[in-house]
Amino acid sequence: MEEILALVEARLRTALGEPDARASVTFLGTDRIEVLRFLDGDVVRYATLGMSAQPMADPTAAVVDPLKGPRAELVLSVRAGLADTDKVLRPLAVLAASPQVEGVVVAPGASLDLGGPLWPGAPFDSVLVAESGGLVEDLELDAPREPVRFLPLLPMTPNEAAWKRVRGAQELQERWLSHGTDLRDPLRGSVSLD
């Protein structure tokens, strides 16, 4: 487990530079989850470290394989200095712990609901999980382990989350693209859903 996390942290540092801050959260019955903060010009990126220590397993599986199964870490990018986004550390750790706590398999296209704002005053209370392979390349592990995928999180307003449930992740992403939505803007409103 420690070996995998060391490789994951090295991949994050290679892709995003040196973290300027880190925090850790431990939930009862789970492994520690860390959240690293990286500054990149006017963008701040938050990346989880610890979610990939164990493979995610189908909650209905009778036997859980300790090696096989998808592994992931979460990455959130927002514009710096516009909102108190550093308060996102605990919500991100909660999302990263959800596979251990709730048996959730986090995959692209999924919605993750926080039950409250992403940070104080945020217009977002859920996120859309996007495809990996862009900002941080997947990390290959020795077989039979699956690669660690670094999944970007796209904040959603309540209206966008409701629309996504009806129309699907692809249509919401196309809507954002066609309207030129700045998904890194921590203060943005909901995209037009007419």
* Per-residue pLDDT, 193: 85
Phi, psi of 146 (to 5 degrees): -80, 160
Which of helix, strand or coil describes residue 74?
A: strand
Residue 47 CB burial class (10 angstroms; 0-12, 13-18, ≥19): buried
Sign of CA dihedral 77, 80, 85, 86: positive
Confidence of residue 47 (pLDDT cuts 50, 70, 90): very high
Pair of tokens at residue 61:
């599986």
Instruction: Give bridge partners of residue 24 from the DSSP assignment.
Output: 34
Tens-digit pLDDT profile for residues 118-167: 999 999 999 999 999 889 999 999 989 999 999 999 999 999 999 999 99
User: How far is the C-alpha of 74 from the C-alpha of 35, rounded, in Å?
Assistant: 9
What pTM, to 2 d.p., does this model score? 0.94
* pLDDT average, residue stretch 161-176: 96
DSSP state of 26: -
Tens-digit pLDDT profile for residues 98-115: 998 888 899 999 999 998
Whether 54 has a pLDDT exceeding 80, the answer reads yes
* pLDDT average, residue stretch 56-64: 74
